[in-house]
Amino acid sequence: MLKYLVIGSGLAGLYTAHRASALGSVLVVTKKALRDSNSFNAQGGIAAVTDIEDNPEIHFTDTVIAGRGLCENRAVQVLVQEGPQRIKEIIGEGMKFDTENGKLSLGLEGGHHRKRILHAGGDSTGRYITEFLISKVQNDPNITIRENVSVIDFLVRDGVCYGARCWDEERNCEELIYAEHTFLTTGGTSAIYTRTTNPETTIGDGIAMAYKAGCRIIDMEFIQFHPTSLFLEDSPKAFLISEAVRGEGAWLLDKAGKRFMLPVHELAELAPRDIVARSIFKQMALDDRPYVVLSLKHLDPEKIRSRFPNILAKCAEYGYDLTDWIPVAPAAHYTVGGVASDLYGRTDIRRLYVCGEIASTGIMGANRLASNSLIECLVFAHRAIGVAEECGPVGDLPHVDLLYRKDESAAERYYALKRQIAHTMNNCSGIIRSELLLSTGLNLVKKELRELGDVKYEYYDEASRKLLTVAYLIMTGARFRRESRGGHYREDYPMLSEEYALHTVQKAGEKLTTKKVNQE
Ligand SMILES: Cc1cc2nc3c(=O)[nH]c(=O)nc-3n(C[C@H](O)[C@H](O)[C@H](O)COP(=O)(O)OP(=O)(O)OC[C@H]3O[C@@H](n4cnc5c(N)ncnc54)[C@H](O)[C@@H]3O)c2cc1C
């Protein structure tokens, strides 16, 4: 029997497969092509303490400050203490990060008080690190990779997961995959918004499936909007302009050419992301234009060319010169909450583990510190493999029937709903929220869910249910939280409130509950 089923081929999935293969057979299934992931597109880098001037306690403090009172301290300690070791290991295995005079070259990003961001290929860290792992897993006889296989649902009996129901796009049929351990690494859900930096695969399938299977889903209201994505007239495409560009000294300017972040925060352009994103959003309204200016005119153009070759080329493709100025606007970028997980990736279902962006371990609190997510993938995948190995044999598996069919006539309905939900999310549950907006959005989602009724195992209807479920979870959390904190801002409750220094918990069939921070 297959020992490890890994769902998703981002950094969390690839690293899990790489580490698990020493212990047994691994199958990686991924929705589209192997390189279709957020991880592949990551730019700025990966945060870990590697410099003598830095130490894990400073990394801890920076993470907790960005998390606005909702970080789980034990999880953050795991991240900052174990991150350096994971980095050392992959360097030992041949991963090449950028260096300067023989030393690792370290970048600075928003909210970090030390230069600690390792990067590769200048601004192509995600591509370099995923290519490095792809070269490992593709050459590993214990690992099989299958592209164009989407997981639709889990196989669960008596609270134990023993694999997944999948849709094989190439054969156009359902398939059951049984496994001793299932690793869910399907990433976040930002692509359910209209303006997003994420690829179209990132629509929260894994979160919706885990919710349906009975897992608790935590803090879904916190969506991180990246402050700076390239603004293109008439296009929802939002190519990310890494925070590292501001780390190198780029300025945000209003219509009059003034640096509007200076009076807002001591770190100006490098203030935590939520503050910068909201300030840009407000400035856009004041200036009455859909973007602000990111100016690099005052910086050394040679340094910009060598540090950001990928971003420079992408901007040039759209007629902009990165060494001069570019128009930028915020976009949905990172899902802070997710499936409840302990410090070893364990969920509420035995033998089902989560790692990477889908997991809610409490590291990110209410707001992710830049570059902490790639390192999260390595640290927690490593731990999850360790505990999975300690589980005994799986026992007899029940026989289940194939259930799903694909009705092409339902496709149009699904894509129309996807567009509608994207607009609803942007308008009702975006950077600035309110009771009125959220209740309007929620009513629409509830109506669509009622109309969908009991999904009868049709592929597209099931996909619609997943989209609606994720939208429902985000908006329900956001409506409950009558305060502003991190990636959640309400204009009707603009202040942080101690009353809400807690996690929101949603479980299928139950009302939203809460959980205190830093409580076992
Ligand atoms: C443009 C961009 C730049 C970023 N830059 C940085 C950075 O510099 N540093 C940093 O730390 N973080 C960065 N991030 C965030 C970081 O990239 C992600 O948080 C991280 O890569 C998530 O990794 P993951 O493996 O959990 O998920 P992903 O990399 O998103 O991978 C998820 C995988 O699951 C697959 N999948 C989804 N649904 C299904 C399904 N139903 N069945 C089968 N497969 C499925 C997807 O196709 C994909 O292969 C960036 C994000 C973006 C979008």
Q: In angstroms, what is the span from residue 39 Cα to ligand 1's centroid?
A: 4
496-508 average pLDDT score: 98
pLDDT of residue 388: 86
- Establish whether residue 126 lines the binding site of ligand 1, counting it when its CB lies within 6 angstroms of any ligand atom: yes
pLDDT of residue 23: 95
Mapped onto helix, strand or coil, the DSSP state of residue 35 is coil
Instruction: Write down the H helix ranges in 118-197.
Output: 125-138
pLDDT of residue 75: 98
Strands 99-100 and 143-146: unpaired
pLDDT of residue 178: 96
* Of residues 236 and 260, more confidently modeled: 260
pLDDT of residue 271: 87
Contact 10, 130 (CB under 8 A): yes
User: What confidence category does residue 193 fall into, taking pLDDT thresholds of 50, 70 and 90?
Assistant: very high
User: What confidence category does residue 235 fall into, taking pLDDT thresholds of 50, 70 and 90?
Assistant: confident
- Establish whether residue 151 lines the binding site of ligand 1, counting it when its CB lies within 6 angstroms of any ligand atom: yes
Q: In angstroms, what is the span from residue 421 Cα to ligand 1's centroid?
A: 21
pLDDT above 90 (res 503): yes
Atom of ligand 1 nearest to the CA of 239: 1
40-59 average pLDDT score: 95
200-213 average pLDDT score: 97
pLDDT of residue 393: 81
282-303 average pLDDT score: 96
- Establish whether residue 430 lines the binding site of ligand 1, counting it when its CB lies within 6 angstroms of any ligand atom: no
- Residue 244 tokens read as 């590292």
pLDDT of residue 44: 85
Q: In angstroms, what is the span from residue 266 Cα to ligand 1's centroid?
A: 31
Which residue ranges make up each domain of the chain?
223-333
Most confident of 244-248, 406-410, 468-472: 468-472
78-91 average pLDDT score: 98
- Establish whether residue 341 lines the binding site of ligand 1, counting it when its CB lies within 6 angstroms of any ligand atom: no
Q: In angstroms, what is the span from residue 321 Cα to ligand 1's centroid?
A: 28
448-455 average pLDDT score: 88
User: What confidence category does residue 114 fall into, taking pLDDT thresholds of 50, 70 and 90?
Assistant: very high
Cα 466 from Cα 473, distance rounded (Å): 11
* Of residues 1 and 134, more confidently modeled: 134
Q: In angstroms, what is the span from residue 436 Cα to ligand 1's centroid?
A: 32
- Residue 257 tokens read as 């050419």
pLDDT of residue 132: 98
Which residue's CA is the closest to the ligand 1 atom numbered 35?
Answer: 8
Atom of ligand 1 nearest to the CA of 152: 41
pLDDT digits (tens, 9 = 90+) for 366-396: 999 989 999 999 999 999 999 988 888 888 8
Cα 188 from Cα 480, distance rounded (Å): 21
Average pLDDT, the chain: 95
Q: Which of 486, 458, 468, 212 is nearest to 363 (CA)?
A: 486
Contact 230, 272 (CB under 8 A): no
Q: Which of 374, 377, 379, 470 to mutate to test the pocket of ligand 1 (most atoms within 8 A of CB)?
A: 374
131-160 average pLDDT score: 97
H or E element at residue 308: none
pLDDT of residue 234: 77
pLDDT of residue 391: 84
pLDDT above 90 (res 243): no
**Residue whose tokens read 């919710």:** 211
Q: Which of 371, 107, 54, 59 is nearest to 248 (CA)?
A: 107
- pTM of the shown model: 0.95
| Right CATH for 223-333 from 1.10.3720.10, 3.90.700.10, 3.40.50.300, 3.20.20.70 | 3.90.700.10
pLDDT above 90 (res 470): yes
Cα 269 from Cα 294, distance rounded (Å): 10
In this prediction, what percent of the chain has a pLDDT beyond 70? Answer: 100
Which residue's CA is the closest to the ligand 1 atom numbered 4?
Answer: 42
182-209 average pLDDT score: 97
H or E element at residue 248: none
Known catalytic residue at 165: no
Active-site residue (options: 86, 127, 246, 273): 273
- Establish whether residue 283 lines the binding site of ligand 1, counting it when its CB lies within 6 angstroms of any ligand atom: no
CA distances from 461 to 166, 280, 488 (A): 15, 37, 30
User: What confidence category does residue 109 fall into, taking pLDDT thresholds of 50, 70 and 90?
Assistant: confident
pLDDT digits (tens, 9 = 90+) for 50-82: 999 999 999 999 999 999 999 999 999 999 999
Q: In angstroms, what is the span from residue 310 Cα to ligand 1's centroid?
A: 18
pLDDT digits (tens, 9 = 90+) for 301-329: 999 999 899 999 999 999 999 999 999 99
Atom of ligand 1 nearest to the CA of 188: 30
